[in-house]
Amino acid sequence: MADITKNYQVEGMTCGHCEKSVQEEIGEIAGVADVNASAESGTVSVSGAGFTDEQIAEAVEEAGYAVK
């Protein structure tokens, strides 16, 4: 399965700690190879293969934020 990169809008991230929390939760999902969260733009970029949008949304919610 080829790697893909998907971008998500995330509500509530305001600082570096927020970014780290989101990145850690998403990084635990099987198939995720790279995660880059930006509080400034309110986005998260996820690269890898085999993950679902639902898994990403659940991980973001676990970190205390919401996918738009």
Is pLDDT above 90 for 1?
Answer: no
Is pLDDT above 90 for 2?
Answer: no
CA distances from 60 to 1, 2, 8 (A): 24, 24, 10
Structural domains of the chain, ranges and CATH numbers in brackets: 4-67 (3.30.70.100)
What integer best gives the mean pLDDT of the chain?
Answer: 97
pLDDT digits (tens, 9 = 90+) for 38-62: 999 999 999 999 999 999 999 999 9
Name the band, by pLDDT with cuts 50, 70 and 90, for residue 18: very high
42 in Cβ contact with 11 (< 8 Å): yes
pLDDT digits (tens, 9 = 90+) for 24-36: 999 999 999 999 9
3 in Cβ contact with 57 (< 8 Å): no
